């Protein structure tokens, strides 16, 4: 056998192993969906059991070493079952109301027009004075002399501290 033949056989073997791994992974994911079958209805049960039986059965559209048809059917049923699960969860969420009511509501104004009583230990809210803009435009800052500013503000230090 030549080197090219060996490489071709190795490539085909790797491809077959990758397809087998894909079928196993998708099969387990579909199998995990069986807990939700009672809520998914007849369509979900048909997709689940159809995918499982087709994958296991020896009758295939393509011969068994080529697992592309099994991969496609498992992936399609997984997508369909996931879609059904999301629909069921959305309908459940729409039906369930939180225990404290429909949600936060704005308070109506106090009937007397005054502020409601303040709880103990808290101060009532009082807005501060309004700050207006300055009447005159600000003057631009005075020009700085050339050079970095730190050289002008730090006096020179002696090389050694005094003793």
> Per residue in 82-136, pLDDT tens?
899 888 888 888 776 555 555 555 555 555 556 566 677 776 666 666 666 656 6
Q: Are 26 and 74 in contact (CB under 8 A)?
A: yes
The pTM (predicted TM-score) of the whole model is 0.49
Q: Does 70 fall in a domain? A: yes
Q: Does 119 fall in a domain? A: no
Expressed as residue numbers, the domain containing 89 is: 26-95
Residues 85, 91, 97: CA angle, nearest 5 degrees: 130
Q: Does 64 fall in a domain? A: yes
Q: Does 11 fall in a domain? A: no
User: The tokens of 126 are what?
Assistant: 């009082």
Q: Does 116 fall in a domain? A: no
Alpha helices in 33-135 (DSSP H): 37-56, 68-95
List, in order, residues 6 or more apart from 114 with CB less than 8 Å away. none
Q: What are phi and psi of 25, to 5 degrees?
A: -65, -50
Q: Given this model, what pLDDT does residue 149 score? A: 55
Q: Does 57 fall in a domain? A: yes
Alpha carbon distance 90, 36 (integer Å): 14
Alpha carbon distance 104, 18 (integer Å): 53
Question: Average pLDDT of the chain?
Answer: 75
Q: Does 106 fall in a domain? A: no
List, in order, residues 6 or more apart from 64 with CB less than 8 Å away. 58
Instruction: Give how many domains the chain has, as a whole number.
Output: 1
Q: Given this model, what pLDDT does residue 133 score? A: 60
């Amino acid at each position: 056998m030549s080197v090219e033949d060996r490489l071709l056989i190795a490539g085909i073997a790797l491809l077959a192993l990758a397809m087998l791994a894909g079928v196993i992974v998708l099969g387990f994911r579909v199998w995990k969906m069986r807990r939700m079958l009672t809520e998914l209805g007849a369509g979900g049960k048909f997709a689940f059991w159809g995918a499982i039986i087709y994958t296991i059965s020896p009758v295939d559209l393509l011969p068994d070493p080529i697992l592309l048809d099994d991969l496609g059917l498992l992936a399609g049923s997984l997508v369909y079952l996931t879609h059904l699960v999301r629909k069921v969860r959305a309908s459940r969420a729409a039906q369930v109301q939180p225990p404290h009511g429909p949600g936060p509501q704005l308070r109506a104004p106090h009937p007397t027009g005054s502020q409601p009583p303040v709880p103990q230990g808290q101060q009532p809210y009082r807005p501060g004075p309004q700050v207006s803009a300055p009447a005159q435009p600000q003057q631009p800052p005075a020009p700085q002399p050339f050079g970095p500013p730190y050289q002008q503000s730090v006096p020179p230090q002696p090389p050694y501290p005094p003793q």
